[in-house]
Structure 1
Amino acid sequence: MKIKNNLIYGLIILGIFTEISVLSTQIEVIKQIHISPLIIAIVLGTVLSHLFKHSFKEYLNDSINFSTKYVLRFGIILYGFRLTLQNLTEVGLEGLIFAIFIVSSTFIIGYIIGTKFLKMDKEITILTSVGSSICGAAAVLATESVIKTPAYKSAVAVSTVVIFGSIAMVLYPLLYEYNVFNLDLNTFGIYIGGTLHEVAHVVAAGNAVNTDVANSAVIEKMIRVILLAPFLIVLSFFWMKNDSKEGGKAVKRKIVIPWFAVIFCVVICFNSFGFISGKYIEVINDFDTFLLTMAMFALGLQTHISKFKEVGAKPFYLAFILFIWLIFGGVNGLEFIMNAMA
């Protein structure tokens, strides 16, 4: 009974701090720069992890584990209500091909550079690469639940998303203003949605140009989010085939089918039929944001600055390389696809 009470009271405490993170996005300064509540939550959780006494963190342990496992997965499932299959048609075949190109090329480049050239830990390499290639913090969290990494590795990956996604959010409108790539409005919207890290980054950068760019950018970004589910399924098979060394012995990982990713796809298909009115979808999306923010806050509570020192600067080197790739490889890839489809 004690454990059960600790879990309930701990979830209440986490819920309070989660609500603080969500409400803080309504502060005018934060609202203007479109900072996601997920980012606020992990920063808040990391700060509090250094302030809470060890005994109190022990008290929250059950609720933290519950949040990073079950709350997270339920949040990913409900994320499907933000998407429909119709999103695939709104930016055309070019947009779909571009999204597949960005997700696959960015992840493969990140994995090869991270493991072969920077000699990084495979888990951090995967998390950092997926944060850049798909949908930022949410993708990192979803991937963490498949490859079962320590919380601090996810925190490192999320921090790279925050840094380089924020830089890109400011840089991209300038690229359009000075006509660096000579793209029309619709194409530039697809470019933004295809290459920026977080949904919030896409919204901010798109609206900085105009609403039409923002609309096509968000749709393109949603296609990348849809690709999260097949990516996780493929990753689970890939991860199974990699032997780990434990105690000097090779241990074969069991296959892990990310059931939540499968249900995520089912939810997208269900949502495509429009059975639920927009008013209720909005309520579901708000609740989903709360769940994902709660999982992120719990992740922050498991993170300590000393772990960042252990990891070093290599994840940030990798994230910077992927940042450059997304800018220049992205625009060249998009132009090639557009010309080929013309």
Structure 2
Amino acid sequence: MLVKYPIVTQLKIAFPGVSISVLIAVAAQFLSEHYGAPAMLMALLLGLALNFLSEEGTQTAPGVAIASKTILRLGVALLGARISVDMLSGLGGWMIILIISGVVATILFALAASRLFGRGWGFALLTGGSVAICGASAAMAIASVLPKTERSERDLIFTVLSVTVLSTVAMILYPILSQALGFSSRAAGVFLGGTIHDVAQVVGAGFSIDNETGENATLVKLVRVAMLAPVVLAISIVVRPSETSQAPDSQKRQPLLPRFLIGFLVLAGVNSVGFIPDSVGNYLAEISRWALLISIAAVGIKTSLKKILGVGPVAIALIVLETLFLGSFILGGLQLLV
């Protein structure tokens, strides 16, 4: 821990690891812009290749740990600047109910399927939440409030890697499916925004059809992002009693509402009353995107590829089933509502 050092010393200790995480994020963004690969996926793979930088005793290890936690929480908190009450009005009550129901049903399905497959509830919440809400961002936010085990980082990297790959596949296939089913721009936007995991892939898929579909898909996706706060809060409430009962009396009691979640809610509230101009909101969203990219690079550095391969085919089958369940749920709802 760095808290026992003066602030200048903390910065000096953290600088090497944070710097390498930033460099990886910049490289990942370059690859994304020039070759079309998802930036999150590139940051993960580059980070995994540099796993030796997180080994105990290296100068980069403390900074990598900070980048994987503190910068992550900053990125999640700033997502709140994109959320507002006004954005819900254009969708209509039934569509909002469908989207929220899809999130809840997917997480419950993940818990049931995980039990059937012999996986733990923590893994179910991690994968189910990431599929249901917003991919890698949700995975990292949920992981930050789950009890820590020796498999925590491995499961997080596996989840981020899986939802990024599945989201990219969906970005290609789902627009084709939407047009084959004859969806209107509004219905196609609800389907794409309600099922694809990551925001970037939702935008890509929506605008590949037309501008109206792209705008609707992005709006629906932000409704799912707004579900991040209540889901993380609910998980915090559920895991807190078991976490404190297993911890020694001297261990610091974790807060019921994590500070990054408070930041998310405050920014969402401020944005809802119109105090955040669009230009500032876009700027904060860009900072959030970079913070999440830097943090996932750091998480990649901290994780051994050998450990990821140890997750096994059951975990892969589980997250694919969760993705198919969410897609089927939203499709079924659209057939009833449209």
TM-score range, shorter chain: 0.7 to 0.9
d(CA) in 2 for partners of 1:245, 1:321: 34
Letter aligned with residue 121 of structure 2: K
Q: How many Å separate the matches in 2 of 1:238 and 1:67? A: 27
Q: Tell me by how many angstroms 1:14 deviates.
A: 2.1
Question: RMSD between aligned alpha carbons?
Answer: 2.4
- Taking the aligned partners of 1:81 and 1:23, their CA distance within structure 2 comes to 25
> Does structure 1 retain, via aligned residues, the 8 Å contact 2:55–2:61?
no
TM-superposed deviation, 1:201: 1.6
Q: Distance in 1 between matches of 2:54 and 2:126?
A: 29
Cα offset for 1:120? 1.0
Q: Does 1:25 align with 2:32?
A: yes
1:138 equivalent in structure 2 = 137
1:72 pairs with 2:91: no
Provide, for residues 116-171 of structure 1, a one-character-per-residue CA deviation record: whole Å limited to 9, x for no partner.
Answer: 21101332222111111100000000011111442221001112202221221111
1:267 maps to a residue whose letter is L
Mapping of residues 209-228 of structure 1, within 5 Å: 209-228=209-228
Report if aligned partners of 1:164, 1:319 keep a CA contact under 8 Å in 2: no
Q: 2:175 corresponds to which residue?
A: 173
Per the alignment, residue 6 of structure 1 pairs with: 13
- In the alignment, the residues of structure 2 paired with residue 269 and residue 254 of structure 1 have an alpha-carbon distance, to the nearest angstrom, of 24
Between the aligned partners of 2:211 and 2:290, the Cα distance in structure 1 is: 26
Aligned AA for 2:215? Answer: N
Q: Report how far residue 6 of structure 1 moved.
A: 2.1
Instruction: State how far apart, in whole Å, the 2-side matches of 1:324 and 1:10 are.
Output: 38
CA offset at residue 284 of structure 1? 2.1
For residues 94-115 of structure 1, give each alpha carbon's deviation from its aligned partner in whole angstroms, at most 9, with x where no partner exists. Answer: 231112111100011011101x
Aligned partner of 1:305 in structure 2 is 305
CA distance in structure 2 between the partners assigned to 1:20 and 1:188 by the alignment: 33
1:118 aligns with: 117
Classify the secondary structure of the residue corresponding to 1:84. Answer: coil
* Displacement after TM superposition at 1:8 (Å): 2.2
8 Å CA contact 1:82–1:285 kept in 2: the answer is: yes
- SS of residue in 1 equivalent to 2:28: helix
Between 223-232 and 303-312, the greater mean CA deviation after superposition: 303-312
Q: Find the counterpart in structure 2 of residue 98 from structure 1.
A: 98
Question: In structure 1, how many angstroms separate the alpha carbons of the residues matched to 2:246 and 2:274?
Answer: 49
Match of 2:23 in 1: 16
Structure-2 residue corresponding to 1:262: 262
* Normalised TM-score (structure 2): 0.88
Q: How far off its partner does 1:241 sit?
A: 4.4
Q: How does 1:182-331 map to 2 (within 5 A)?
A: 182-242=182-242, 256-331=256-331
Distance in 2 separating the partners of 1:278 and 1:130: 28
Letter paired with 1:111 = L
Alignment partners' CA distance in 2, 1:194 and 1:220:
6
Aligned length: 324
Q: Distance in 1 between matches of 2:306 and 2:270?
A: 44
AA of the residue aligned to 1:303 = T
Give the percent of matched residue pairs that are identical in Structure 1 and Structure 2: 24
For 1:11 and 1:254, locate their aligned partners in 2 and report how far apart those are by CA, in whole Å: 25
Structure 1 residues 195 and 137 mapped into 2: Cα distance closer, same or farther (>3 Å)? same
* CA separation of 1:131 and 1:305: change in aligned 2, threshold 3 A: same
After superposition, the C-alpha distances for 1:61-104 in whole angstroms (9 at most, x for unaligned) are: 21122112211111111111122221111212123111211110
| Distance in 2 separating the partners of 1:197 and 1:295 | 18
State whether residues 157 and 315 of structure 1, in contact with CA within 8 Å, keep that contact through their aligned partners in structure 2: no
Q: 1:42-57 counterparts in 2 under 5 A?
A: 42-49=44-51, 52=53, 54=55
Partner of 2:146: 147
Per the alignment, do residues 227 and 246 of structure 1 end up closer, same or farther by CA in structure 2, a change over 3 Å counting? closer
**Matched-pair contact (CA < 8 Å) for 2:81–2:276:** no
Contact 1:135–1:225, Cα closer than 8 Å, also in 2: yes
Q: What's the CA shift for 1:178?
A: 2.0
Are the structure 2 counterparts of residues 333 and 39 from structure 1 closer, same or farther at C-alpha, using a change threshold of 3 Å? same
Bigger mean CA offset, 40-49 vs 274-283: 274-283
- CA offset at residue 53 of structure 1? 8.4
Q: From the superposition, tell whether residues 190 and 319 of structure 1 become closer, same or farther in structure 2 (CA, over 3 Å).
A: same
Distance 1:14 1:234 in 2: 31
CA shift for structure 1 position 255: 6.2
How many angstroms apart in 2 are the aligned matches of 1:216 and 1:108? 26
